[in-house]
Chain A
Amino acid sequence: MKKIVKRGILFLLILILLLAGCSVWAEKTVNSKRGIVNGRSRAFAEISAEKENTLDVLVMGDSESFTSISPMELWKQKGIAAYDCGQSGQKIQETYYMLKTALKTQTPKLVLLEANLMFRNPGRIENLQTAISEAMLYHFPVLRYHNIWKTLLDGYSPDQDEYKGFRIRNDIKSYNGDENYMKETKDVRKISTFVDGYMKQIIDICRDRNIPLMLYSAPSPVNYNTAKHNAVQNYADKHGLPYLDLNYKTKELGINWKEDSYDRGDHLNVFGAEKVTAYMSKYLSENYDLPDHRGEEAYKEWDRLAEMYRQEFLAVKGK
């Protein structure tokens, strides 16, 4: 039996060493060849490749997050350096490791978490599988980026098509349903214990590093409702977190559901995102201590990117 334990441990140790070595190589490759990673992992690769200690706001969450806040608009309005690290259908395990990945190189002054992902619960076994796989992907990034050999073989384009995690989506598909969708109710949607567990870890990480964590909900008549709001509000109150639900502020934001969504009220298009971001820039600068980096030498790239964004936005607006 001793022989088995000894050899087993040795086998695992060598495996860990090999994986760690390959991971160093993979991370270096990914950081030096931007655009080499496609798909879901791209968000991880891009945030890792950001210049160290340049980001002040991290926006996390599922697709509701990166379709509602445009970092270039925040930059234009208040010079806030924000980054959208959301992924489509991001699971809470991914959010947790995304935050940890970002914090390896960044020291943000605020983490903004879009709350819709707190209701994603694919079941116990699926949750467990994701928990194991995400932990492995985080500790051994070579596994996350293992498909880069394909891009190396098939070719890739290093062109920047994102504005700090935000893409310009200018399609318009109107939402024609009830605009007064946040109906009065005492119903409370359940937040799974799995999500609760990861949320607590996210809260702890932010507290340990003195980073304020704020929950928010993007306007979405298809995705959001009062029962979800009640659950998040209760959760935020219980843990002393601020919560801003923009579904109650669509009038103030000036959201026009006829033209501000690209998929019939599920997500905002760039025009809706501009409105939400304009509001958020004011809200954040009033409530948090976020520096204005415009004109600083280290942020020259941001000014260039903001100009590109402006041009592209004007082009799509004029269509």
Chain B
Amino acid sequence: MAYHTLLYGFAFLPLCLVLYQLTPQKHRWKVLLAFSWLFFYMISRKLLIYLIGASIITHYTGVRLELLRTEEEREKESAAGKKKKEIRLRYQKKGRQILALGILLLLGVLVYLKYYNFFVRNISNVLDLSVLPFTLPEKKLLLPVGISFYSLEAVGYMADVYWGKIRAEESLGKTALFLGFFPQIMEGPICRFTDTSDTLYAGKSLEWDNLSEGYIRIFWGLFKKLIIADRLAVLVNQIFDNYMEYSGAVVAAGAVAYTVQLYMEFSGCMDIVVGSGRVFGIRLPENFRQPFCARSASEFWRRWHISLGVWFKTYIFYPVSVSGLVKKWNQFGRKHAGKYLTRLVTSALALFPVWLCNGLWHGARWSYIFYGMYYFTLILAGMAVEPVRDRFLGVLHIHPDSFGWRNVQRIKTWIIIFTGELFFRADGLRAGLHMFRSIFDGFDIRKFWDGTLLGLGLGRADFAAVIVGCIVVAVIGSMNENGIITRIRKARASETAKWCVMYGLLFAVLFFAAYGDGYQAVDLIYAGF
């Protein structure tokens, strides 16, 4: 039961809303927890035990860390001067051990379930090469839904308690709800405790404004997913599953189509997620901010899957940046290597683990690791050429914010994104490299309009729906980028206008969505990561 299904929209969510409202305010979070676990159970059945286990580990690690802090404060109060530092160091060590244990347990399960077979396969390949007479057997491991999302949330929560940024939640049930809240369990966003805790447990009564705006958001998500993404899935699958048959412009079209499909699908799902939270008055953080307006690869990642980027920045980039190794390099670099190189190497040291983890997080495949390294290289290269670029612009008297230069940068970023997604979707790194090379094999731009694309499973009407849908999304996106949507919201749109938008979106989905005859339901892509 994914978010775009009838069962979710017409039975699960309404039933949860009704029961939520009928329950006394202070117990409403329990209804949300019960529905969250039911949702999880309906998808992953008895693997629910993993989520419950993760909740228990996270909760008690948090509680233990909190307790430690209280003890530390008490001891510090009665101690004097020098001793205080000693106490702090002792408790810091203890805290670090507890945090490490918690993280180890959570990430241990994630790594075991998600990466065991990958490692075994690669170790076996190495052993094969070295002609050693044994192989490691692969295991049939079932992955609970959302494990990659809730594990990161759990680690973030424990680290925040350890750093003293938040106080540990006292109720186990509430911690469990934070990790397992049903709208975000399948595809995120990866929330930080402070993002949701105030509204998640408040048990606010249902309000018409929340309901109507939440549902507008849900319908908008369905519009993107069902009208655009699911249609493009037909063409994308045809090209990527039979990549040996295609080359040149068709492969390029496949890369562009997949990028658009992924964006419409993932951001559409996020609209449904944010809308599903909104109907209860719960605010979930945004995961996308018009990523195709980005002028560089690094800006793209600040606008695309924002919550993952924020998580890596907070829990990997910053800790690595202030680690002993980086500090030592900084000292050494400033003396011997100059400002430019020191900064570049410092960035590389902190960015490398971020992008390695980003690639690996998406799955246990070399092509994902390549995907991470692809962005690492490009972002670093972007930093490296910055001074040269600035000088070049200066010489030619081009203002960095001029309309023309902005668009040159955007087009460059699009090419980077499309290429990245080509490798991301391809069936393995070898297939990705083959497809990339084949783009330059007899590239003929006329194939975009000479009817070739009509032979890939989509008819004229389908293309018309995709193009019109994309134009609508682009217009709304640009209104969002320029703050027009916010202004409309602040001006409190009239009730009639809201109803028109609701009916308009709903009927657009009902009439033009890719469901029924000739279409297969398409599973959520990111739910598989």
Stretch at the interface among A32-40, A51-59, A192-200, A238-246: A32-40
| Complex Cα spacing A153 to B468, Å | 14
Partner of B459, one of A4, A133, A154: A154
Find chain B residues with CB under 8 A from A8 CB: 211
| Complex Cα spacing A41 to B507, Å | 20
Say how far A229's CB is from chain B's closest CB, in angstroms. Answer: 33
List A residues 96-134 near B (Cβ within 8 Å).
125, 128-129, 132-133
Whether A146 contacts B511 by the Cβ 8 Å rule is: yes
Taking residues whose C-beta sits less than 8 angstroms from the other chain, chain B's interface range is 20 to 34
Q: Beta-carbon contacts of A1-28 to B below 8 Å, as 1s and 0s?
A: 1011001100100110011000000000
Taking residues whose C-beta sits less than 8 angstroms from the other chain, chain A's interface range is 20 to 34
Say how far A166's CB is from chain B's closest CB, in angstroms. Answer: 20
Whether A150 contacts B6 by the Cβ 8 Å rule is: no
Main secondary structure of the interface of B (DSSP, over half): helix
Find chain B residues with CB under 8 A from A18 CB: 503, 507
Whether B211 contacts A41 by the Cβ 8 Å rule is: no
Find chain B residues with CB under 8 A from A133 CB: 6
Q: Does A308 contact B (CB under 8 A)?
A: no
Stretch at the interface among B66-74, B104-112, B202-210: B202-210
Find chain B residues with CB under 8 A from A14 CB: 503
Find chain A residues with CB under 8 A from B206 CB: 1, 4
Whether B461 contacts A132 by the Cβ 8 Å rule is: no
Q: Does A182 contact B (CB under 8 A)?
A: no
Partner of B511, one of A125, A128, A136, A149: A149
List B residues 430-471 near A (Cβ within 8 Å).
459-462, 464
Q: Does A88 contact B (CB under 8 A)?
A: no
| Complex Cα spacing A162 to B322, Å | 74
Find chain B residues with CB under 8 A from A275 CB: none
Q: Does A147 contact B (CB under 8 A)?
A: yes
Q: Does A264 contact B (CB under 8 A)?
A: no
Whether B516 contacts A3 by the Cβ 8 Å rule is: no
Say how far A146's CB is from chain B's closest CB, in angstroms. Answer: 5
Known: A7-B208, A15-B506, A150-B462. A132 touches B518 (CB 8 A): no
Known: A4-B208, A18-B507, A150-B459. A11 touches B499 (CB 8 A): yes
Smallest CB gap from A144: residue in B: B516
Smallest CB gap from B465: residue in A: A150
Q: Beta-carbon contacts of A138-169 to B below 8 Å, as 1s and 0s?
A: 00001110110110011000000000000000
List B residues 1-55 near A (Cβ within 8 Å).
1, 5-7, 10-11, 21, 42
| Complex Cα spacing A3 to B210, Å | 13
Among B462, B464, B516, B517, max chain A CB count under 10 A is at B517
Partner of A147, one of B7, B10, B518: B518
Partner of A1, one of B6, B21, B42, B499: B21
Q: Does B502 contact A (CB under 8 A)?
A: yes
Q: Does B512 contact A (CB under 8 A)?
A: yes
Q: Does B341 contact A (CB under 8 A)?
A: no
Whether B461 contacts A154 by the Cβ 8 Å rule is: yes
Whether B516 contacts A147 by the Cβ 8 Å rule is: yes
| Complex Cα spacing A136 to B517, Å | 15
| Complex Cα spacing A133 to B6, Å | 7
Whether A129 contacts B517 by the Cβ 8 Å rule is: no
- 15 intermolecular pairs with C-beta atoms under 8 Å apart: A1-B205, A18-B507, A19-B510, A39-B516, A41-B517, A125-B7, A125-B42, A128-B7, A128-B11, A146-B516, A147-B516, A149-B461, A150-B461, A153-B460, A154-B461
Q: Which residues of A contact B (CB under 8 A)?
A: 1, 3-4, 7-8, 11, 14-15, 18-19, 37-42, 125, 128-129, 132-133, 136, 142-144, 146-147, 149-150, 153-154
